[in-house]
Structure 1
Amino acid sequence: MVAIPAVKRRKITPPSISGEDSPASTLIERVDTGYDDFFNTASRWNLEQDYEQKPRKQKKKEKESTRLPIKTAEGKIEHLSAPEADEDDQDSFLESAAEDSPIERQPVSVEEKSPEVSTRQKILEAKEELARLASLINEDPEEHAGAFKQIGQIAASPNPTIKMLGMATQLAVYKDVIPGYRIRPIADLDSTEKISKEVRRLRSFEQALVGSYQVYVKELARRARTGKDPSEASASIAQVAISCACALLLAVAHFNFRGELLKILVDRLSYNQIDANYTKCRETLETLFRDDEDGTPSLDAVTLLTKMIKARDHRIDESVLNLFLHLRLLSEFSSKASQDRVDKPSAEDRGAGKKLKSKREFRTKKHRKVLKEQKAVEKEFKEADAIVSHEERDRMQAETLKLVFVTYFRILKARSPNLMGAVLEGLAKYAHLINQDFFGDILEALKELIKDAEPLSADDPDDSDSTKPIASTTTITRSTLLCINTAFALLAGQDVAKSASSLSLDLSFFTTHLYQSLYSLALNPDLEYSSKSLHLPDPYSPSPLHDQNPTTTKKPTNKVNLRTTSSLLHTALSAILLPRTTPPVRIAAFVKQFHTLLLHTPEKSSVALLALLQQVLKVHGRKVASLWNTDERRGDGVFDALKGELEGCNPFASTVWEGELLKLHYCNGVRDGIKRVGGILKGLG
């Protein structure tokens, strides 16, 4: 049989009933109408409002925590729940939105707030990042030159701890990376010359290093300054900044921006507040002066100190002026100088001069050209190795010495009471470097200082005034001794044999003044105390150290010199009596006064004076032996111990009868000293 295809059936719409629509036609009309309304109103839909009003799904039932309990710092035990993922909620929300809405809606992005990181976590992260960057720089500085800037950005954090960590990290990195030479600016280099890739890479690294280092030094200078009422955080940052500046100055003093580092230290020394930062800066400059082989860093530091002292009108602490005593030129410099010039050694002293033509070596033109090129190469090598010639170092030290003398002489003229001791001590140290012109000016200034102190001497009738402060009298006595010691130290530093014809050396004024002050010094209760001795002040003093308010105290007006008054007296007497050219009358007058002083001075001072007397007798024993023997008395008249003139007191008309009393002294050292004096006299006879 042949298969007959099935007839395709066609759906026929039933006829409509009169007066009433059929259900099928009604349904079609409704669908068409609904779609028209949907498209007409879709543009007016507010999807965001629908989203806000749509009910949310309830949170799922909390699952049981599988984590172990922890114990907090307060001792409480807490259970931590595992964090839940929000993906399921987001997916279910999108699915529900797609099911309920006939149009596919775009997902709304919700900004998630980053969790707040604790301060401790920030510090730990900063430590790790600083350590990572520092390691990269140490491995290959040229490859990771950009890490300098990144460390600086971390150090600029507002957190004080991170800031201090950043400054300390930069210090360690720069100390390891900075080369042993000074980097010139890129403008000084020849841009037209052809350079290799390695040289170009090195130059780019050097410029990046110098730029970052300059920013770091400026940041240290800014952080080292504290306001009038600094907070604890700013004070800590300032302390770290000053420590970093001190360490850099000692480690890389040859590198760029040395002047900015010195300004940080000098600016801190200009304050009168002495604290840990002040002491750190002062000790750093002392070390710099002692270890400076170049001379340029010392010259820069002395220049800044001189300007600061002048700008402050000498209102500084005496320890700043004592920094000059640590300069290496005290032991290395050989020429003499003053405040305006330096005496250069002659050609004979240097052993140099023009060679005779007969002794010159013959050189061809080609040979001279080769030698010239070799000298140029050697000069470049010296500059690269930072080697300074002796001539250059002497020139630097001469300029430094002139600045020191300018400062000393300016303070002498201003007569600053708090710095006079430091100036006199410094002049005594530099006595061998002072030329003849400056020597005379200093002696005149010292005489004026002593004349100002004469109203408080024993001969002054106004000295009996009880309203004068005791402390000021002792202070002026110490200043007088300092002036006398300085004058004789200056004399010992001069070459008397060469300058006798051009320099008038007369120190009789200082000798006479010391002789007149011996009695007052013997009765001084603070003879064995220094100006820095820690002893209680006299509560009945006319100028007590304490105000009416017990919470505030006044600083005592003490001098700088740390030596005791007895030590200063011993030095002055040694300078006057031990030279072999001392006249016999002067020696006899002082020896007679020695025995009178020994009856009143304390134990240690008496032993020291007896030791000095033994040295004097070993040198001038035969000149004064008649003082112990009445049968050999050579003088006529009467001995006047209070005579103003030293040569007019007639010492040979007296005898040393005080020695018999000193043999009965309570101190064993004094009794033994008197016995040794007698043994020396017997040996002379």
Structure 2
Amino acid sequence: MRGHIRRRKRKLDEEATEYERRYKRSSAFDSDPPSLKVRPLLPIKSKSGVLIQQFREEDVATDEEKDIEDEEPVKSTSENADVPIPMNIQQIKSEIAKICSNVVNDPQNHVKELKKLLAMLWETKPYRTCLIIRKLAMASLTCVFIDIIPGYRIRQLTEEERSVKLSKEVKSLVEFEERLLKHYQNFLSSLEKVVTNDYTKKSKLSKQEQKEMTVLGVKSLCELYEKTTHFNFHQNIAVVLLPIANSNNKVISEMCCTAIRNLFRSDKNGLTSLSTVKVLAKLVREGCASKKGVRPSIVETFLSLHINHVDFESMSKDSKRMTAKEKKKAAEEKKKLSRAQKKYLKRKEQLQSELKETEAIESRETKVKYHTETIQQVFLVYFRILKHKKGQVLHKRLLNTVLQGLSQFAHLINIDFFSDLVLVLQKLVTSGDLNFKQNLYCIFTTFKVLSGQGEALNIDPSEFYKYLYATLTDVVYISVGPLNSRKKDGVVKSNELELVMECLNIMLDKRRKQVTLNRLQAFVKRICAVSMNVHPGSTANSMLTIAAKLLQSNSKTSGLFDPESQVKGIYLPELEDPEHSGSTSTCLWELHALRRHFCPDVQNQSLRILKDSSSL
């Protein structure tokens, strides 16, 4: 039995001898070369059940060899010199992505990591990648803040509230809100420095790189301005961003104006639009006083406002005087009340305010109030530009936009300003300083004002009828070539045809009771004559459609189809006054010529008018 144990032990010793020697040789590091490193591996079990340890020898570079390897890229050619840079950028990208994912997934516990991204905004080393690092950090911070910002406005705690003991959950939430607000404020201040180029002294960027950073900073501010209207510092963003819209850089200006338009379209309450319009009104006022002026795109942003209802009583002067008297009377009556009555009224007001808050819906009165103040600011800007001196360049640049805005919001203008506004527009039309499109906007705005509340006013718009009748032949040049010497802007654009159609509709069809027969027949005759000379068939068809509508509006126009019923006289088409052109002494022979027009739609429309004339 003892011999069997000795033989088995000797056999195991022989099997393990080779591995023990290898282990001893590896442990004796004095005899091994310095470039070899022994790495232990997982043991294996032999057939006899013995665990045998394994090792692997690896080459390890010395410190001198590492230094040589680090210096090799620097000594390499120019083609290989940029090889380490993408690796560094990838590391930075992965680090930024890790921080952003941590903050977005768990903002309350990882909001501290935003400090690292804020530090990257002013990174200066390495020089060749600092611009990319700044851009990545700025874009990432913008997206992160938009994602983690809560849907409410954070209120700073008072000293009394800080002294109160809070639970762990509430305390952690308060700390998170304070840190978030602090980091967000630091980020906005950094964006302001980037946009206003306050960092140029400390920065090592070139002018082109600074421009790229400025564009990205403006883009970040625009994103925050659109999507954080409910959060803190939104008014501060507006104060910084809106003046940049008047920049000479078209890209930056267009970005800011687009952000303003999107905010006007998405604003449901009206308070944000009101604050924005106030800042823009101040910007226009300062621009009118300076030589720099204002870009038309800034004034065009008002066209994106969705305002349909306003309080005309609060806009009128008489109502303001009455409310002032009522306030004095109410104050006097309030003094006569007893203490119990005063407490009752105060408690009643508090309950009403609490009920409005529990409804979680903005009352219609508040919305109308904001819209009323907003439209007052818009009209203040428009009237200031209209009163500007005609000889200056600012008046000509902004007048087209102002007239377009007045035509869009004409139904919201207070009746107290109707007479003055019509006189101003009439002077602009008769002065001859405006182009064809601007005159059309003046005409359309005037008749839109007179078609609503202005119907009660005694205003004679005959000058506008004369101008449109005299210039109606200019429609021929919409697609043929330049306008005549009366116009200064060259070619008429396609949207001017739509303006002409709208003016004819609102002047002759909607005001058919105020239009005389001579004026109506003169316009119908002129429209048919223009239809013969316009080149596109669609334009001629649209003109004939309006003529057919006007003929159906008054049965007395049948004299244009019956030569025997015509009044004796001579038709004078060259006169600019439709009342004295002798339109009752002519007939619509143009319709018979249009029956052979090259466009089938025009042929059918002219035949339809001739058939319908028998029923007049």
TM-score normalized by structure 1? Answer: 0.66
Question: How far, CA to CA, are the matches of 1:641 and 1:337 in structure 2?
Answer: 47
Question: More helix by proportion, 1 or 2?
Answer: 2
Equivalence for 1:179? 150
Please name the residue that 2:194 is paired with.
223
- Tell me if structure 1 keeps the 8 A contact 2:528–2:543: no
Change (3 A) 1:680 1:335: farther
Matched, 1:492 2:471: no
For the pair 1:421 / 2:354, whether they are aligned, the reply is no
1:264-321: CA deviations, max 9, x gaps?
Answer: 432332024322x433322222111111112121112212222222222283333322
Q: Which amino acid aligns with 1:618?
A: Q
The runs of 5 or more residues in structure 2 that have no matched partner are 1-30, 38-57, 65-70, 75-82, 125-129, 324-340
Aligned residue among 241, 260, 264 for 1:265: 241
Counterpart residue identity of residue 316, structure 1: V
8 A Cα contact 1:302 1:400, kept in partner:
yes
Give CA-to-partner distance per residue, 1:51-100, whole Å, 9 cap, x none: xxxxxxxxx9998899xxxxxxxxxxxxx9842268xxxxxxxxxxxxxx
1:514-557 deviation per Cα after TM superposition (whole angstroms, max 9, x unaligned): 222234x25x53x248xxxxx9x99xx9x9xxxxxxxxxxxx96
1:516 aligns with 2:470: yes
Match of 1:568 in 2: 499
Give the aligned residue type for 2:462: S
Deviation, structure 1 residue 596: 2.7
Structure 1 gaps, min length 5: 1-59, 67-79, 87-112, 348-363, 455-474, 530-534, 544-555
Are 2:298 and 1:298 equivalent residues in the alignment?
no
Q: Is the 8 A contact 1:272 1:316 kept in 2?
A: no
Give yes or no for the alignment of 1:288 onto 2:263. yes
Per-residue CA deviation, residues 35-56 of structure 1 (Å, 9 max, x unaligned), is xxxxxxxxxxxxxxxxxxxxxx
In the TM superposition, what are the counterparts of 1:204-215 in structure 2 within 5 Å?
Answer: 204-215=175-186
The code of the aligned residue for 1:646 comes to P
Give the partner amino acid of 2:432: A
- Would the aligned equivalents of 1:337 and 1:343 in 2 still touch at CA under 8 Å? yes
The residue that corresponds to 1:167 in the other structure is 138
Aligned in 2, Cα 1:372/1:335: closer, same or farther, shift over 3 Å? Answer: closer
The CA distance in 1 between the partners of 2:581 and 2:593, in whole Å, is: 23
Matched, 1:402 2:376: yes
- Deviation, structure 1 residue 190: 4.2
Corresponding residue for residue 137 of structure 1: 103
Distance 2:353 2:299 in 1: 42
Which residue number in structure 2 is paired with residue 101 of structure 1? none
Contact residue 311 and residue 369 of structure 2 kept, 8 A: no
Aligned to 2:254: 279
Q: Using a 3 Å threshold, how does the CA distance of structure 1 residues 589 and 652 change in structure 2: closer, same or farther? A: same
Contact 2:35 2:62 in 1 (8 A): no
Match of 1:615, as an amino acid?
A: K
Give % identity.
27
Q: Give 1:254 shift.
A: 0.7
1:28 is aligned to: none
CA distance in 2, matches of 1:376, 1:195: 28
Distance 2:317 2:190 in 1: 39
Between the aligned partners of 1:342 and 1:434, the Cα distance in structure 2 is: 16
Residues 75-154 of structure 1: pairs in structure 2 closer than 5 A = 82-84=60-62, 119-154=85-120
Residues 506-545 of structure 1: matches in 2 within 5 Å? Answer: 506-519=460-473, 521=474, 524-525=476-477, 527-528=478-479
Rounded to whole Å, the distance in 2 between the matches of 1:119 and 1:661 is 77
Measure the CA separation in 1 of the matches of 2:498 and 2:345.
63
The alignment of Structure 1 onto Structure 2 pairs a total of residues equal to 512
- Tell me the distance in 2 between the aligned counterparts of 1:245 and 1:148: 18
1:139 shift after superposition: 4.4
Give the counterpart letter for 2:118 in structure 1: G
Aligned to 1:27: none
Give, in whole Å, the separation in 1 of the partners of 2:346 and 2:418. 49
Alignment partner of 1:392 out of 347, 352, 366: 366
Residue 478 of structure 1 and its aligned partner are, at CA, apart by: 2.3
Instruction: Say if 1:322 and 1:450 are closer, same or farther in 2 by CA, change over 3 A.
Output: same
Q: Hey, what's the Cα distance between the residues in 1 that align with 2:501 and 2:350?
A: 62
Task: Report what 2:220 is aligned to.
Answer: 244
Whether contact under 8 Å (1:341, 1:402) holds in the other structure is no
- Per-residue deviation at 1:258? 0.8
Amino acid at match of 1:597: V
More off after superposition, 266-275 vs 506-515? 266-275
**Gap change, CA 1:370 and 1:656, over 3 Å in 2:** closer
Give the direction of change, closer, same or farther, for the CA distance of 1:563–1:406 in structure 2 (3 Å limit). farther
Report if aligned partners of 1:270, 1:316 keep a CA contact under 8 Å in 2. Answer: yes
Shift in Å at residue 155 of structure 1?
2.8
Taking structure 2 as the reference length, the TM-score comes to 0.73
- Tell me: CA distance 1:204–1:391, structure 2 relative to 1, closer, same or farther (3 Å): same
- Structure 2 residue 597 is matched with structure 1 residue 665: yes
The verdict on how the C-alpha distance between 1:664 and 1:239 changes in structure 2, with shifts beyond 3 A counting, is same
Residues 600, 342 of structure 1: CA spacing in aligned structure 2 closer, same or farther, 3 A cutoff?
farther
The range that moved more, 297-306 or 642-651, is 642-651
Root mean square deviation of aligned Cα? 4.1
Counterparts of 2:464 and 2:605 in 1: how far apart (Å)?
28
Q: Which amino acid aligns with 2:383?
A: F
Q: 1:379 to 1:565 in 2, by over 3 A?
A: closer
Residues 271 and 563 from structure 1, CA distance in 2 versus in 1: closer, same or farther, beyond 3 angstroms?
Answer: farther
Question: What is the SS of the residue equivalent to 1:142?
Answer: helix
Amino acid at match of 2:517: P
The answer on whether the counterparts of 1:154 and 1:163 sit within 8 Å (CA) in structure 2 is yes
Please, which moves more after superposition, 172-181 or 232-241?
232-241
Which of 528, 542, 545 pairs up with 1:595?
Answer: 528
Equivalent residue for 1:201?
172
1:615 aligns with 2:549: yes
1:195, CA displacement in angstroms? 4.2
Deviations 1:336-389 (A, max 9, x none): 489886979x99xxxxxxxxxxxxxxxx9999999777556546657xx6x533
| Larger deviation, residues 333-342 vs 393-402 | 333-342
Distance 1:374 1:407, change over 3 A: closer
By how many angstroms is 1:194 displaced? 5.1
Partner of 1:324: 302
Match of 1:647, SS state, is helix
Conservation of the 8 A alpha-carbon contact between 1:586 and 1:646: yes
